[in-house]
Amino acid sequence: MADIFRLVELLRGRPIHICGLGSLGAPVAENLFRKRVPELHLWDHDIVEGRNRFNQRVRAKDIGKPKVLVRGDILHGIYPDSATKLVLHQERVVAGTKLSGIVIAAVDWNRIRYEEVLPCVKGNTEVSFFADGRVGMDGGKVYGFDPNNEYHVMRYEDPVHNHPDPEHAEANAACKSEFAFPENADIVAGKVLWRLTRWLQLEDGCADPYDNFVGFQYIPREIMLTEQWDEGTIGAMSRQKDGLAESE
């Protein structure tokens, strides 16, 4: 069992950056703020819209306000005694943005992931861990790896994961619908934080094997695939299970 106080200590001197404060970024930020991580940076250029009330943990009075400022107000309201240094960036992360420490991508589109966020962390020796969470209507995926490990980056950039966004996806996305499921985002947020926890344990000398990818989907008898990316090897394991199928 990980000691949360020890894990927080391992983060000293390493800020955590969350890129995107929608249905996924909001619960990730809340959990990290609750744990009193030393320094947390929130990035988003967007404003709260009425439809965001259904899946992004915002209030009626927040409509029309910047998401970053709203999230900061909500966090301080819920956890006024948090020792976390909270830094708010009312802008989006784009290629060339200076990032360091831990970076978590909680954005909607693969185009943004690969054209704007990944260039900020790939080969960036100031970033020790990169996590990418993806939320769908019926499941989700989480990736976590060292962006300075060429093999990990190569596996992440594989076309299996780096598929194009559907045509008109940004205009007709599930995240713009009142029918999106926030429960999926909560599960993915938990997996993101678990990935980060496992990585910190490894850095601290834990010998536990580390998988860089985990996914789940609510479909009957689906075969899911687990890939072990560490040390240049890939171990595949599939299993079937009715209901929630998960790979890890």
Query: pLDDT tens for residues 118-148?
Result: 999 999 999 999 999 988 777 788 898 899 9
C-alpha distance from residue 60 to each of 52, 54, 64, 67, 204 (Å): 10, 11, 10, 13, 43
Query: pLDDT tens for residues 141-181?
Result: 889 889 998 888 888 888 666 666 666 554 444 344 444 56
Does the pTM surpass 0.95? The reply is no
Residue 173 CB-density burial (10 A; 0-12 exposed, 13-18 middle, 19+ buried): middle
- Distance of alpha carbon 118 from alpha carbon 132, whole angstroms: 10
Closest residue by Cα to residue 103 from 196, 30, 34, 215: 196
Per CATH, which fold does 4-209 belong to? Rossmann fold (3.40.50)
Mean local confidence (pLDDT), 51-74: 91
Give pLDDT, residue 235.
Answer: 41
How many residues would you count in the chain?
Answer: 248
- Going by pLDDT thresholds of 50, 70 and 90, the confidence category of residue 79 is very high
